[in-house]
Structures are given as C-alpha cells and as structure tokens.
Structure 1
C-alpha cells in the first residue's frame, strides 16, 4: 500500500459508542493522521434507519443502510452494532474482502471469537477488540503484546460497572439490594431489565474473552461458571465489612490443575470476598479494574471507567490507529494464538477459601458436629465466629446457652469447590442447621 493513500474506515452502527467514534474520526482527523502516519478517512456509516435521531450531529451523506457495499470498499471495518447477527456476517465479510476489523462486541467474541480469529489468520487480517472488555481501560493489548513473553497465572477483574456500583452503595451507604438497584437504574447504570448485569451474563462474556487471551485457548461463554449478585443481602455486606472484606462481583480466569492432575483453565464469575487491603477493594462506583498476576511481571492492575460512549470510543480509536500504523509498516496481522488448547475445567476443580454463614441450633455439641461434617468432606475449619442469638439479640455470644438458634460464620482453609459444595449440602441436611444463609468465596488473598 502506498504511504500517501488514505485508509478508508467503514463504521457499522451509530449508537452511543458508534456516534462518538464517528465524531472523533471527523473532528480529530489531522491529529489522528499525524499519530498514525497516514490519513484515516471515515467513508460511511451503516445503520438500520438513516432518518433516526442521533446523539451526535453527523453529516447526513455518510449514512447508508447498505452495509455490504460499504464493507467492500473499506480498509478497516469498525463493528459497533452489537449482538450476534448481522454483526458476525458483516465481520466475516470484511475479513473476506481483505479488511481489518475493530469491534467492541463482547457477546459475539465470547461466542464466536475462535471462528472469527481463525478466518482472520487465514488471510493475514487483524481483529482488534480493546473496547470489548473494559471500555477505555487498556487490557487486551497489554495481555496480547506487553505480556506476550510472560506467563499469566491469574486474572481477577471487576468488569461490570453496574454491579460494582450496586455493591459499593450497599457497602459504603448501607443501601439494601433493592434500593441500590433503584438508584443505579435512576442514574443510568442499569437497564430496565437488569438481568444481563445483575445475574453476571455480561461479566461472563468478558471473562471468556480474558481467559482465552491470557491462556491462549478457546473459552466459550457457555463454559464460564456464572453467579450473579441478586442473592447478596445487606447482612452479607455488613458481615463482610466486620471481617475486613468487601464483596465484589469478580470475573476470574486462572490456570489450575484438577484432582486427576489435568491442567486447564478455570473461568468463573461470582460474588467474592476481597480483603480491604487488596487493590480491587478500592474500585468504587461504576469503575472497572483488571488485576493480573504474572510470573515475571508480578501483580499489575489496570483501572478506570468501564463504560460510556466517549470512553469506549477512545479504545476503538486506539485500535484503529494501531491498525493504520501496521498498514503503513507493510506488515500482516499476527492473529490470536490459541495454540495451548487447554480444557476449561468445571467450577468444582477450583480451589479457594470460603465463609459460610449459618443459623444453627444453640445447644452443646453443635460446633463439633458441624466441624465433623466439613472434615468428612475434606474441608477444614480455619475460623469460627458465633455472632448473635436469634432469640435474644442482646445475649453475650460467648456465653454457654441451650435453646433457640445462633448465627455462625465458618471460615475454611483452601478447599476444592466440589468438596465445599458437598459439605454445604450436608450442612443443609443436618438437623442442627436451621439454614445456610450464604456461602461466599474468598479471592485475591
């Protein structure tokens, strides 16, 4: 390619992010050209309805409903439509026509990323997706490039700003789950249907992308263990605070070995207890953070806004400039490495520590009985806290009592998740246990 010819960018989608990308491409045209070493021209924007109102005033002549024709004339196709189809077909068509692709489509990459990356590798095209995981926070390029010579051991990430905002309000302001969700909805952190955020689907898609990239293997979203935050109560949050923890919805990816010695990847999303002196504990409000543990580099944290039109557009434009520089240098895309082909192991193979909150009969011998139930399933007790008597909130928790119920919090040593699940089932079936209020994993310790 001649160094003097402009690079033609086709934009698919003009929603909150797409409109900002278009605006910045037009307003910062000369600055972007200087940074890239070649002019970057927005040649068209494909939308479903050219007459729809936009959040940004853009030239009407750029809009078209003919995405197929627009793609064929582009050097770089920026897909910001969202969803699976027609986004997938458009991306594959762009790759087939010789274009490079920038996308922020986490759902598509989590489900069909392996197919898309394989198609790009066949023709030497590049697929960039910095905006797909944490908006403006740079994490894809550090994992793919900066840490390419290192051995990533574990990733702990807060990648859903909505749930982080909710849990933060519960922790810092004492809101109930219902009240925190109401405020989050009023402020625009939540959609009218909060399921994707609150039940962990959004974070699971991002966990799949991070795990696949960090461990050079294919991790479909369906293989990611997922738990949301809807069962978290203010009592859980307050109990965690008293013990020196904060509750965060974490997306976790790590190398593990199961009981049979099989090495694989654990990819999971669930509420977790994080010690208050851990860097992730200070991620407040709607912010995101990705905490990487690498063999040589050690612990690294990437922090910032995890959503927003302008913020996400920043990541998209960074990818566009990177591709433009590669075009100028005359190189071909290196593609994604999935050479490791590691198995995605079930949640039962993961190991961590736990805090189990129970209501139990308040009688002599109960503690020994419960410890025996845990020990029989390979779970050992590290700490045991008897808090309050449910029949007398003013009673001394250290006093010897008989009758009524007592609240217990059991902290365990490191155990397999499968063993812990079996132990919790046995506790639930015990006549000594009135209820198992909550079971929370301790991560990042």
Structure 2
C-alpha cells in the first residue's frame, strides 16, 4: 500500500496492476478566472458489463507529492483523506455511472493552478489522464474617453489595462456596431446608449455611455419667415443659426473611475466633470449602499466642485457614489457612478498552551467578512470558534483547537481562506506529542 493513500485506494491500485490500460478522454488544458467555478473534464469509456468504477483526482506538487483532491471508490465517495485545501470545494459529475469523471472545483484560487491527475479504474481497464489548470486575473473594467471630431461628431475611445484583449461596441439592442477600439458617431440625431465590451476569451467586462442627441431648434425656419417677413429674414437667420449652434452643444457626464478597489487605510479620489454644461450652480455627491446619503465635508471626507476624496477608507465606505450637477439653465446631469470596493487582508497568528494542549489561531482585521479557518489535523480534537467586529469595520475570527491525544507538530497547521489571498494562508502549530 502506498503511504497516505488508505485501504480503499489500495484496491484501485491493485486493479491497475492487473488490468490492461485504456485511454481516458479529456482536455489537456483548462483556463479559468480567479474566484470562479471550473470543470476539469475526464471521460472513461465503459464497455457492456463493465462495473466497479472508481476514480481519484490528485494534484501534482513540485516535490513530486500528490495531493488528494477527490476520491470515489466503487459507487461511494471517500473524502476522509482529502487535502484541506480542497475541502468543501469539489464535486464529481452526476454522470459518473456513464463514465463521466469530470471534477467541478469552486472558488478557484491561484494555489489551484497546476497539473491534475484523473485516475480511473473498473473491472476491466484503468488509466490516468493529466489536465493542466491555468488561472488568470479577470479582465479589468474598461473606461471610455469622449472627444469631439472636427465635423461635430463624437469619438469614443475604449481602454482596458488588461493585456491581449479584444474590443466590441454594442448598440442598445445588443447588436455589434464595430469590433474596433474606437467608434465615431457623426452628429447624433437621437439619444444613444453604447456599450464597450472587453474580453480575453475567458472573462469579459463592459462599460456603457449615454450620448445625448443634437437638439433641434425650437422654431422652424418657415415659422420664422412667416412671423417677421422677408425683409429682415437674412439678419434673423444669422442670429438663429448662431443660437442653433449653441443649442447643439452636447453634455458629457465624465465621472471616473467607474470602479475603485482599495485596501483599508488607502485614499479614494473620484472625479466628476460635466463637459459643455453651462455655468454650474449646484454640485453634490450621493452615496448608495443599504441607504442613500448626501456626502458632506468631514474629518475623512473632502467635497470639491469636481472631486470627492475619502481618506482613509473603511469597509463602511464600500458602495456606489454618483455626482450630480444643476446648471444655470435648470438642467440636471448625473454621472454614471463609481463603485468603491474596500478589502482588508487578514493577519494570522498561532499561539499554544502546552499545559492545556490548546492551540489558538487568530485571523485579525480582515474584510469582507466571508472567511474560513480550518486545521490540518486528525479528527481526535475539539474546535471552538469566535468572531468579533472592530471599530473600523474589519473583523477578527479566532479558532481554538483542543488536542485530546498526541499530535505531531506537522499535523497542526492552521489554514485561512479569504478573497484577498492568492493562496491559502497557513501557520504551523508547535504542540508536540
């Protein structure tokens, strides 16, 4: 029996020695995005009368070890030896009886990237399939820059900081108007909403912009002629055309950035400019979370005519910020909004009490609140957990491990999984046997 594999899997290994191999079908490479759910495909063709199907998924380590990801032995799951990194995140296909050994992995982290082995066996055949899993960062949300062309049109320029992406511009009905990064509109005659979509084949993000149409004059030329007569028509026509030109100035709500991702303690700065608006008389910022409120100057908040500054940010500041203005003509304009996300990475400490055989694992000052603490130990223990809130909106969580029997130091690692971590954070305990 191979060490660390367990009796159930030893039966599968014996079958693999005794039966001839048969190729398992599956994709060699799978790419996904952080924090998503991914499927690692693997198929095991079954012949008539074939039965006793077993499968085990492993992940290869740089030192040659294999971490047990998921195991299914003769119609029954066996997760007693599953590596803690995959606990609660794996599931086999419902079609396993038809030879579908596909593994579903949820909440993907950077630590999940690597080579996976799908080992399958039945009464008459066995084989191993390798699947490479690659993890990418999600595509960053694009920003749209607006400028005016010499002939009075609108030039839209879409920009994303992600490399090797493609661009598409969509109309309101979802139809593609161009697959170029830039899109030019010649003198819009009606209100338009256009969306820039950025993708890399694995993930995508988008941003929309509203383009107001060129306003038509309030009175038609024939009406003016009828009202004033032909004698002074030319002079009035000159004035009328100047007024029409002024009225056709369109207003662009330039609020940026569209999203901010900050850590607790950093400074948030959001800009708001209304291009081509008449003299602005009133300017305000509103914050939308569970409730809406007007932003006003305070110890941490600075409101200026064209920006909003929050320094330092806390978890309570996370939400949507929208600027709005009112000009001297009475027109009101709103920005498209800025989504502020605030996170805090947990710090991890492990302390011990030798007399009471007690280990305490503390994950401190983290946000969001979704966090998982687990221990790499055998089941002969008692675990108690406690969570407290800090004044700045961050959270602490404590897990206490009471050892009932002799446990070696390497069996007592405390693991923490959180969205701010690229891999599971862990600290070893020091209580010996």
Shorter-chain TM range is under 0.3
Higher helix share: 1
Higher Rg of the two aligned structures: 2
TM-score in terms of structure 1 length: 0.20
